[in-house]
């Protein structure tokens, strides 16, 4: 079995890491909002646009080549999620796909039916379901978050189910504070109550290998630009459900799953780039075994590396006076994403002061608005520090040194 590439080798795949700001090399800690892109992904997208660009399902060569490229990309994403190609649909982004799915599902629901969401989630997994209140008279119930642990209050979540609950929408991981949820437990809970489970895996997918079979979720969405690809959304659905959805679509458009969920002409070059990003991740582990096997080795190795980075960040930040760190401790299930606040400084100002050091961090509420408000930072926001496959120990040291100058 081949070894997974070193961090130095991985970094060579990313041209953005050559950037400098005010004489300093840039350290990208903004991965939870969008990761940098490997050179191979850009080359795959350019090759498609230059040599194969066409619309689908016609009989001339570039159209046939486009069909083949999209089929190959669907197979790559299926390997990434442990799904089948017929269960993988593409779209503009996770948010658009979730709105689309919510409308389709609600066509079969009745006024007074219910959906459960959580306070921990990005609002892309909240507001599409809330929109059904206005459109279809659906009642949305919200599971509380425990501010102390930044985790879901599971007893409260369980108490929200009623005979009219149609769906539980839950995130696999918090994009704001890194909490990882037990979505397999959520699936068992929902199915036991006769409801469906929708999983937002946007923040989870870059850090742990998704397995829709093990989760037993009914639907799952993620975004390629969070796992080193272009701006493309991905929706998984169990095939019988995709085929039965009363999905809004044009009458002449394909009616077979999964294309029936894909409205209009898709972002072909982005879909090709998504497959290339998955192959880059698999390639970090060498060529032995299947793509799924290689992905598993890559994610296992990256998890070990990121765990060490999180431990250094956590211990360094929590030791600083005036800095409050949010999210689970390093030894709990979490992603390598940490949120913090500096007493007396709005999050945007902290981010601005770090920029001259070549440190790029995100700030605000990250669309996890309810969670940030519950943590007491609805006005000033939080600073979010995210590690990616290219993050080094030296970059973490630089960040901690710069943070000390602020406090």
- How far apart are alpha carbons 58 and 330 in whole angstroms? 53
Tell me the whole-structure pTM to 2 decimals. 0.97
Widest pairwise Cα distance in the chain? 67
pLDDT given for residue 2 in this prediction:
62
DSSP 90-148: EES-HHHHHHHHHHHHHTT--TT-EEEEETTS-GGGTHHHHHHHHHH--EEEEE-EETT
What are the backbone dihedrals phi and psi of residue 322, each rounded to the nearest 5 degrees, phi first? 85, 0
Distances (CA, A) of 215 to 124, 131, 173, 393: 21, 27, 14, 33
Q: Which two tokens stand for residue 149?
A: 């642990």
**DSSP SS3 for 44:** helix
165 in Cβ contact with 119 (< 8 Å): no
Q: Is the pLDDT of residue 132 over 70?
A: yes
CA dihedral in degrees (177, 178, 184, 190; nearest 10)? 20
- Tokens 């030791």 correspond to 319
- How far apart are alpha carbons 83 and 212 in whole angstroms? 7
Interval 296-321: pLDDT, tens: 999 999 999 999 999 999 999 999 99
- How far apart are alpha carbons 273 and 38 in whole angstroms? 10
- How far apart are alpha carbons 110 and 117 in whole angstroms? 18
Nearest to 140 by CA among 119, 173, 154: 119
Interval 386-397: pLDDT, tens: 999 999 999 999
Interval 332-383: pLDDT, tens: 999 999 999 999 999 999 999 999 999 999 999 999 999 999 999 999 999 9
Mean pLDDT calculated for residue range 274-294? 93
Q: Is the pLDDT of residue 1 over 50?
A: no
Distances (CA, A) of 177 to 39, 153, 205, 382: 29, 16, 15, 10
pLDDT given for residue 218 in this prediction:
98
205 in Cβ contact with 215 (< 8 Å): no
Q: Is the pLDDT of residue 287 over 90?
A: no
Interval 66-84: pLDDT, tens: 999 999 999 999 999 999 9
Domains identified in the chain and CATH numbers: 7-36+304-406 (3.90.1150.10), 43-281 (3.40.640.10)
């Amino acid at each position: 079995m081949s070894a997974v590439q070193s961090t130095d080798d991985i970094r060579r795949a990313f041209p953005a890491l050559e950037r400098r700001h005010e004489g300093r090399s840039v350290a990208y800690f903004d991965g939870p909002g969008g990761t940098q892109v490997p050179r191979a992904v850009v080359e795959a997208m350019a090759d498609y646009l230059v040599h194969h660009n066409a619309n689908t399902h016609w009989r001339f060569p570039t159209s046939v080549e486009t069909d083949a490229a999209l089929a190959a990309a669907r197979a790559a994403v299926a390997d990434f999620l442990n799904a089948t190609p017929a269960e993988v649909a593409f779209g503009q982004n996770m948010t658009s796909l979730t709105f689309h799915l919510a409308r389709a599902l609600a066509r079969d629901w009745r006024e007074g039916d219910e959906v459960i969401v959580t306070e921990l989630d990005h609002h892309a997994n909240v507001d599409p379901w809330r929109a059904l209140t206005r459109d279809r008279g659906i009642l949305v119930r919200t599971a509380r978050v425990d501010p102390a642990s930044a985790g879901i209050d599971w007893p409260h979540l369980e108490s929200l189910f009623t005979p009219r609950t149609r769906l539980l929408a839950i995130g696999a991981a918090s994009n704001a504070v890194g909490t990882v949820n037990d979505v397999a437990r959520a699936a068992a809970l929902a199915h036991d109550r006769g409801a469906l489970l929708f999983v937002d895996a946007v923040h989870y997918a870059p850090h742990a290998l998704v397995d829709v079979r093990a989760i037993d979720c009914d639907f799952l969405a993620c975004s390629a630009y969070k796992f080193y690809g272009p701006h493309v959304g991905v929706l998984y659905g169990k095939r019988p459900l995709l085929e039965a959805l009363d999905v809004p679509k044009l009458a002449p458009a394909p009616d077979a799953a999964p294309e029936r969920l894909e409205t209009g002409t898709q972002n072909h070059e982005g879909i090709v780039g998504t497959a290339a990003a998955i192959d880059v991740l698999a390639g970090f582990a060498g060529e032995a075994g299947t793509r799924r096997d290689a992905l598993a080795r890559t994610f296992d190795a990256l998890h070990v590396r990121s765990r060490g980075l999180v431990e250094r960040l956590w211990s360094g930040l929590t030791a600083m006076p005036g800095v409050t760190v949010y999210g689970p401790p390093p030894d709990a299930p979490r992603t390598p994403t940490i949120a913090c606040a500096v007493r007396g400084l709005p999050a945007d100002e902290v981010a601005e002061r770090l920029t001259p050091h070549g440190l790029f961090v995100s700030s605000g509420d990250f669309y996890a608005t309810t969670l940030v408000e519950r943590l007491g930072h609805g006005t000033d926001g939080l600073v979010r520090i995210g590690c990616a496959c290219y993050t080094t120990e030296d970059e973490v040291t630089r960040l901690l040194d710069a943070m000390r100058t602020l406090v």
